[in-house]
Amino acid sequence: MTAVLAILVDSYRELIAKKLFWFVLAISLLIVLSFGSIGFNDKGVSIGYGIYTIENDVLKAESALIRPFMDFAFASVIVSMWLAWGAIILALISTAEIFPNFLAGGAIDLILSKPVRRTTVFFSKYLGSLLFVFLQVAIFCVGVLLVMRWRVGEWRWPILLAVPILVLVFSYLYSLMVLFNVVTRSTLPSLVLTLLAWLALFTLHTTDGVLLTQFRIRAEVDRDAYARRIEWYEQRLNEAAEQGDNDAVNRYRTRLAADEASLAEAQERVEKWTPISQAANLATLLLPKTSSTTNIVQRQLQSSSGMTTSSLMSALNGDQPGPAPQPESYENDSQGDMYRRRDQEIMRRAEEYENSRPWWKIIGTSLIFEGLVLAVACFIFVRRDN
């Protein structure tokens, strides 16, 4: 235990000796200050600590939307863009040389000559390297927590969930970097390979997401929309037939024929894209899920405020939350309205799908990947002569 603690303390000293650590911290504090500059007055949203006001009828002082809006700004903008991308890229750059320096001749000889098992040395150093993100995100989140207390008027404790979640996301990528470190023993190639691997993971998950939302869910939404239209037109057709309005009957029959063809085409797309989307999802099952893991913070905040992103957007637009409202008559339904409803419904269902995925499955499958990568890296470290 003394040895593990010594390696952790040493890692801490190594991190704070880096200029990049303080640079990232400075950026984080600037972002916290910027976040804190968002306020609410009688006219709307004030920014720059009251210097400028954006007038808004819905989002203003005393509005019930303030809390979900600030949650959204934190989880969807700050966490997803700064912490999950910017800060992690800088953290990868900062920690890229930790293992190569550790493995360098003269340094590793002394460590391995001590009465500590190589696996203990390896995992202690690995955990120590994660301190970079832990410290950065912890300080950042405490700052945001204080801002929320000031602006929203309550302690939003779920914000602190970002600390373990972001450390977890970083650890998925850092495990890959450590593997490249022990294989190449070089900083730059390891960093480049890790960033390429991250890009590959991002591409795979984006492909999975696009297949799901833009093909499968879109086809399902189209199918359901046409099914509703057909049902509406059938009712109108029956009414027109009962009233003996032949012009209306002919008009409805023409519309029905077109919609039935569209329904068949949509059903065909559903049948085509569902297995493809499922296969893509299966292919990414055991890969680390950086975005989905980050989204857990947003899900937790939404669950505590009882408002999803899509329902917040609907509320800010003055719409009713939930499924897109259907028109009373499809006869005068414009194509623009139809597309708007469809996009809103796709967003809602995609969000529903994402939120339905159990967090333990997202983290669990990612950790299995991380564990396998670390096991290979550790095996190489333990077996190699130094």
> Which residues touch 76 (CB under 8 Å, ≥6 apart)?
298, 309
Give 113 or 335: the residue with its C-beta nearer to another protein: 113
Residue 127, token pair as written in the block = 């955990």
Give 1 or 51: the residue with its C-beta nearer to another protein: 1
Q: What torsion do the CA atoms of 98, 100, 103, 107 make, to the nearest 10 degrees?
A: -70
Q: Which of 257, 352, 300 is nearest to 156 (CA)?
A: 300
Minimum CB distance to another protein, residue 17 (Å): 4
Give 3 or 59: the residue with its C-beta nearer to another protein: 3
Q: Which of 177, 184, 143 is nearest to 160 (CA)?
A: 143
Minimum CB distance to another protein, residue 135 (Å): 16
Rounded Cα distance, 156 and 144, in Å:
9
Minimum CB distance to another protein, residue 185 (Å): 14
HEC states along 224-249?
A: HHHHHHHHHHHHHHHHHHHHCCHHHH
Minimum CB distance to another protein, residue 301 (Å): 38
CA distances from 269 to 259, 260, 347, 352, 370 (A): 15, 14, 19, 21, 36
Phi and psi at 47, nearest 5°, equal -125, 160
Minimum CB distance to another protein, residue 88 (Å): 23
Q: How far is CA 327 from the centre of its chain?
A: 33
Give 109 or 231: the residue with its C-beta nearer to another protein: 109
Give 102 or 369: the residue with its C-beta nearer to another protein: 102
Rounded Cα distance, 130 and 135, in Å:
9
Minimum CB distance to another protein, residue 119 (Å): 11
Give 8 or 138: the residue with its C-beta nearer to another protein: 8
Give 37 or 386: the residue with its C-beta nearer to another protein: 386
Q: How long a stretch of residues is the chain? A: 386
Binding site for another protein (CB under 8 A): 2-3, 5-7, 9-10, 13-14, 17, 101, 104-117, 383, 385-386
Give 111 or 313: the residue with its C-beta nearer to another protein: 111
Neighbours of 109 (CB within 10 A): 10
Minimum CB distance to another protein, residue 100 (Å): 12
DSSP state of 158: G
Minimum CB distance to another protein, residue 140 (Å): 24
